[in-house]
Chain A
Amino acid sequence: MADTVRTLAALQSLLADNETGDISPQDLRDMLVSILGAYGGFYIHASSTGHTLGGSEELCTLATPTAFDAQDLEVDTGNKKVTIATDGKYLVLVGAVCRVDSTNAVTLKIRKTASGGSSSDIGIASHYSPTQADETLSFAMAGIADLVDGDYLRLWVNGTATDVLTVTELSLVVCRLA
């Protein structure tokens, strides 16, 4: 039987008692891959890929990232997304460096998209108002997200229409907590 990443509740049920010796090596291996597994992400360095803003919340155009080592989640560098493989609570950490060719404010967000297609906020965002055009902006975001199998995370942006945003550096790390 394959080792399976399980939820905390499922593991607690498997390990409820051992009165009849029914905690198996498989149960323990499932616990192991559940608590050591599920991490990944991607990063971008020295990119010049620009995104012409549309004036509303939209997916952010990025250069093709490089995947970090990953376990039990899917890093899709072509589509710049991280897809969850197991229900759970996930730590999300993001560092980003951007430029905007104006002094208009810009907001970056990490949003989740369910496998069915709807996207929603997960409380992970950062905002910046430049003091001059083409200023290098430093963004930091962090949060804990409740995600299910098939959900995927991507970088979204909102800013003034026709401004050009360039994400020069980006690091997105996702780690399963429970």
Chain B
Amino acid sequence: MAASVQSRNDLLALLAPGRDGGILPEDLRSLLVSRLGCYAGLYKLDAAYSPGPSFTRLDPDSPTAFDSDDIAVDTDDCQLTIGTDGVYLLVSVVSTTVDASWCDTRIGGSSGDIPEVWGSKSSGYSCGFAQVVPVIATLSAGDTVYLEGKSYGAMFQHLMLLARRLA
């Protein structure tokens, strides 16, 4: 039987004492892939991208996929699609050029359960700052995750989005 990524509670059930047939090698392999698998990411360098003054999905041309496992990377739509229910660490890093203007970023997705917290930069004459937003979100298989941003005069230069399953 094939091993598969499973939830923490399902794995605990697999390893429960007295289970019929005992603990099987595939149970241990499921534990292994549940911990070592389930990661993905994408990035776009030199995007020179300005999305406008209202939050919208960031969809620069031709982002590049990082290595991934159990999370689909869709570079056409600049998004990640979760493969297995679970709790995920999501991290966005957006490097911006700001000159007497402003921009904000956040992590968006099809699930309403992604915590809303922003990265921001505005009002100064300094340039080239990275906005980092790490969150923990409970997601389901099929949920999409993507970057969102808005700006007035600012340019998003380098974009990165990572996902890693925690449990």
Interface residues of B in 98-121 (CB under 8 A from A): 102, 115-121
Given contacts A25-B15, A45-B118, contact A69 B136 (CB under 8 A): yes
Query: Is A40 part of the contact surface with B, judged by Cβ < 8 Å?
Result: yes
Contacts of A43 in B (CB 8 A): 115, 117, 135
B115 x A68 contact (CB < 8 A): yes
Contact B167–A36 (Cβ < 8 Å): yes
Q: Per-residue 0/1 for A12-43: is the Cβ within 8 Å of any B Cβ (1 yes, 0 no)?
A: 00000000000011101101110111011101
CB–CB A26/B17 < 8 A:
yes
The answer to whether B122 has its CB under 8 Å from any CB of chain A is yes
Known contacts: A32-B31, A36-B34, A95-B131. The answer to whether A45 contacts B116 by CB under 8 A is yes
Complex Cα–Cα for A43 and B23 (A): 40
Whether B123 and A134, one on each chain, are in contact in the complex, defined by CB atoms closer than 8 angstroms, is yes
By beta carbon, the residue of chain B nearest A3 is B12
Please choose the segment from A48-56, A105-113, A167-175 that sits at the chain B interface, where 4 or more of its residues have CB less than 8 A away: A167-175
Interchain CB contact under 8 A, A25 and B123: no
Q: Is B89 interfacial (CB-CB < 8 Å)?
A: yes
Q: How far is the CA of A25 from the CA of B11 in the complex (A)?
A: 11
Q: How far is the CA of A168 from the CA of B12 in the complex (A)?
A: 40
B48 at the interface (CB under 8 A from A): no
B158 close to A (CB within 8 Å): no
Q: What residues on B are CB-neighbors of A68 within 8 Å?
A: 115, 135-137
**Cβ contacts under 8 Å, A97 to chain B:** 118-121, 131
Q: Is the CB of B120 within 8 A of A173?
A: no
Residues of A within 8 A of B23 (CB): 25, 28
Which A residues lie within 8 Å of B132 (CB)?
93-95, 138, 140, 142
CB of B138 closer than 8 Å to a CB of A: yes
Within 8 A of B (CB), among A125-143: 130-132, 134-138, 140, 142
Chain B residue nearest in CB terms to A46: B118
How many chain B residues touch the partner (CB < 8 A)?
A: 41
Q: Does A4 contact B (CB under 8 A)?
A: no
Instruction: State whether the Cβ of A66 lies closer than 8 Å to any Cβ in chain B.
Output: yes
A144 at the interface (CB under 8 A from B): no
| Chain B residues near A26 (CB-CB < 8 A) | 17
Name the interface residues of A77-98: CB closer than 8 Å to any CB of B: 93-95, 97
* Contact in complex: A25, B16 (CB < 8 Å): yes
Whole-angstrom CA separation of A26 from B121 in the bound complex: 50
A138 to chain B, nearest CB (A): 5
B28 at the interface (CB under 8 A from A): yes
> Can you pick out 6 interface pairs between chain A and chain B where the beta carbons lie within 8 Å of each other?
A31-B31, A32-B8, A32-B15, A39-B89, A43-B115, A136-B120
Binding site for B on A (CB under 8 A): 3, 24-26, 28-29, 31-33, 35-37, 39-41, 43-46, 66, 68-71, 93-95, 97, 130-132, 134-138, 140, 142, 168-171, 173, 175
Taking A28-B28, A44-B117, A175-B166 as known contacts, 13 extra A-B pairs with beta carbons closer than 8 A to each other, sorted by chain A number, are: A25-B17, A28-B31, A36-B166, A37-B167, A69-B136, A69-B138, A95-B132, A95-B134, A131-B126, A132-B124, A170-B117, A171-B133, A173-B134
